[in-house]
Amino acid sequence: MSMSTSPSLTTAPAGADRAGTRTTAGRRAALAAGILVAAAVGALLLLPGVLAPYPPDTNDVAHTFAAPGAHHYFGTDQLGRDVFSRVVYGTRYSVLTGLVATAIGVLGGSVLGLAAAAGARLVDTVIMRLTDVWLAFPEVLLALLVIALIGTGPTQVAVAIGVAAVPYYARLVRGQALAVMRAEYVEAAKILGVPPWRYLIRHVLPNVGGPVVVLASLGTGSAVAAAAGLSLLGLGPLPPTPDWGVMLAEGQSYLANAWWIAVFPGVALVLVVLAATLIGRSLQARSVR
């Protein structure tokens, strides 16, 4: 813990040091909680059958709208399907969509950001002005525009959210890359005649990684939430799919007598977003120190 590196803290009163230790402990706990949830989500993603007591799509007309209890932890829905099992299986759709969307954002943003940082001034200007325009569109609306262009469906939703996220990554990568490119090892590579694409990928990109991982972690959370939102609008997977957004849309019709159908998928959603945020913030705090 080097407090002296942060100029604003040098004038902190005595006792701040102890506070600093505590926040670090709190941060560590937050990171642990985040990783725990992320690990659980990963397990659900790969092996939903281990945890889910029922298949996600088996109707049981004798037990529709059963309240949460010992048999059905999260209750059952209008067709008697087990909400808990559906939430478990739904991880695969909702979280995967968010991950794919983030991957698209990171990939697109890295290409644009590196091109802006390494390219001619004109290329840089064009790309940066493009991100200005890009950022002027609210993310949800931009995603909707993309879906209007490429059609509805789970893959399309992932692409749409990814496209909307590209400018954030592009700006971050460009800024980082510009800083890294002044480093001596990059200069050396240039002098040695290494072609730009090669030193960009071998030397610049790995050193740009840290902040991008932070943003990607935070971004995955909002991408998962955005995917659920677009599914809620009926633009993603279609109803029998246990996607969390689809479940929210279905459950919303029965809020008056069965709140659990729409509430529990949302709890799962919030947990994932929280985990992503906590991990992202802890990594951020680490990289700042």
Partner 1 sequence: MGSLPLASAPRFLLRRALTGVLVLWGAVTVTFFAVTAAGGDQIDAILGPQAANLPGLRAQVAAQYGLDRPLVVQYLHRLGDLAVGNLGRSYQRDEPVSRVLSGQVWPTLSLSLSAAVIGLLLALGVTIVSAGRGRLARAGTSVLETLAVAIPPFWLGILLLSLFSFSLRWFPAYGEHGLSSLVLPSLALAIPVAGVLAQVMHQELDLVESRPFVLSARARGNGRLGLVLRHTLRHALLPATTLAAWVLGTLVGGAVLVEKVFSRPGLGTVLVDAVRHRDTPVVSAVVILAAAVFVVANTIADLLYPVIDARLREPVAA
Residues that bind partner 1 (CB under 8 A): 8-9, 11-13, 19, 22, 26, 129-130, 132-134, 136-142, 144-145, 147-152, 221, 225, 228-229, 232-235, 248, 251-252, 255-256, 259, 262-263, 266, 269-270, 273-274, 277-278
Q: Give every CB contact of residue 83 below 8 A, 6+ residues apart in sequence.
A: 68, 72, 74, 75, 76, 77, 247, 260, 261, 264, 265
Residue 241 to residue 86: CA distance in whole angstroms: 9
Contact (CB, 8 A) for 56 and 90: yes
Report the chain's C-alpha Rg in angstroms: 23
Give 51 or 130: the residue with its C-beta nearer to partner 1.
Answer: 130
Min. distance of Cβ 275 from partner 1 in angstroms?
A: 9
Backbone torsions φ then ψ of 82, nearest 5 degrees = -75, 115
> What is the Cα 26 distance to its own chain's centre?
23
Min. distance of Cβ 181 from partner 1 in angstroms?
A: 26
Give 139 or 243: the residue with its C-beta nearer to partner 1.
Answer: 139
Give 28 or 198: the residue with its C-beta nearer to partner 1.
Answer: 28
Min. distance of Cβ 92 from partner 1 in angstroms?
A: 19
Give 99 or 233: the residue with its C-beta nearer to partner 1.
Answer: 233
Min. distance of Cβ 132 from partner 1 in angstroms?
A: 6
> What is the Cα 132 distance to its own chain's centre?
22
